[in-house]
Copies of this chain bind each other. A is one copy, B any other.
Amino acid sequence: MSDIKTREPAADAVPATQAGLLDRTLGNLRSVWRDIAGSAITVVGTIRSATGRTEEERWRSQIRDCLEGKGGEVSARARAADLGRTYLALEPEGRRSFLRLLAEFDVDRAAVDRAIDIFHRAADPVARGEAERTLRRALEPGRMQLLTQFNTLPEGVKFLVEMRAELLELARQDRHYVALEADLKDLLRGWFDVGFLELRRITWDSPASLLEKLIRYEAVHAIRGWQDLKDRLDSDRRCFGFFHPRMPDEPLIFVEVALVQGMSDSVQALLDPDAPASDPQEADTAIFYSISNAQKGLAGISFGNFLIKRVVDLLKGEFGNLKQFATLSPIPGFRRWLEAEVAQKGDQLLAPPEFQQLHELVPDREQPLLAEALARARGEVEGVLEAALQPVLMRLAASYLLSARNGRRAADPVAHFHLTNGARVERLNWAADTSPKGWKESFGLMVNYAYRLSNIDANHEAYRGDGKVVASTAMKSLAKSS
């Protein structure tokens, strides 16, 4: 729906297949752990049978033991790992109960009150500093300590990322999970600090098990199979991803780049299976045609801006002839926005000559001319009607990208992402995505956002500070045309 896997609630609602995916992933983790600690399975067997009162009581007491560090730190960790295995062996309902229970291990309110008290009375700077740290620590709920200890599990980090994916779902429906989800996000944000991530190039020589994940995670232009994937890793293409050292087999985010001559104006041309590979050393343009976040459980922790910058640097070093770096991006919100506009303003959106021309092509109608024209365009009178619509849609899309707002943010989520990164709205391309999805989202229009390293900071500041959308002259003219 966007070239950044969107993070809006609607998009995140786990469809059936996604839920299946989660279960499968947990299944994999389970089998890893089964290999390692066979013994735990019997325990688990009992628990799985029923998640009634007794089990919960047992869990509660286990969690308490972990938090109190009974038997020493090492044993406490081992016990936390046992709890993790327990969780993994549970069915979805059992997992929900477990998480609900975990959420109970909240901040100790009394301790916080005491710490605030001390904080207020701290006289000198040293005492105050200490009081601040004490208060900060008192505000860390017990559950956070346990979550941390889960990282000792084999693939423990992946485990927590999966857990957060599940919690995000639950927190949307039930306020009891909200704080636990937020805590886990804080924890993961620290661990997944971009300074800890590894940038890796992904090639056809990468493990099949990793490439399989690209196929699964690609969120912008679905990969149609192994041959399509191989084409995307050809000599005139590049793919890079960020990885975490403790989750080495899982990309966190990845970007697909085409090395071409001139700025691309058609994604179908880029992904044409019959197109021969060109010589990348002669390319003057790098097109970032897809960026996908791969981990639902890391929603809200951003890497995309760093990834783009690092890849631009790398490509510059490798290909001396590269002159420009740009995306070929979808405009996922355009049609939705246009339909709302038409509903509100009707054919006032059209200039008189535009109205005249369309009127001749679409004489009989029951709704605003523009709405009717769009409804008919795809299919019926395709050729002529589409040609008449092209200037209208180009103008309106330019206007949407440059002026439509959602609060202070650009209304289009992909535009917001690239503008925040300091990119500039460069060029609008007609018939750039001829797939059904392309028509449905944005009447086949796509946009190039250009990254010029020398302007990135200024662009970012302009957008962040004054909400100013930086655009090329051509785009600005287009928005004002008619």
Contact = CB atoms under 8 A, between A and B. Distances in A.
A327 to B, nearest CB: 16
Contacts of A209: 204-205
Contact of A182 (B129, B186, B205): B129
Interface string A105-121: 01100001000100100
Contacts of A194: 77, 152
Nearest to A210: B205
Given A112-B132, A208-B204, A74 B305 contact: yes
Contacts of A150: 195
Contacts of A456: 71-72, 74-75
Nearest to A458: B71
Interface stretch (A85-93, A133-141, A317-325, A390-398): A133-141
Kindly report how many copies of this chain are found in the complex they form together. 4
Contacts of A211: 208
Name A's interface SS: helix
A260 B214 CA distance: 32
Contacts of A235: 31
A51 interface: no
Contacts of A149: 195
Contacts of A249: 205
Nearest to A139: B136
A460 interface: yes
A341 interface: no
A460 B136 contact: no
Interface string A207-235: 11111100000000000011000100001
A72 B136 contact: no
A461 B460 CA distance: 56
Contacts of A106: 129
Given A75-B460, A246-B245, A151 B193 contact: yes
Contacts of A421: 72, 74
* Top 8 A-B residue pairs of the complex, sorted by shortest distance between their CB atoms: A71-B457, A151-B195, A129-B179, A245-B245, A72-B460, A136-B139, A205-B207, A152-B195
Interface of A: 31, 70-75, 77, 106-107, 112, 116, 119, 125-126, 129-130, 132-133, 135-136, 139-141, 148-152, 156, 175, 178-179, 182-183, 186, 190-191, 193-196, 204-212, 225-226, 230, 235, 245-246, 249, 302, 305-306, 309, 420-422, 456-458, 460-461, 464
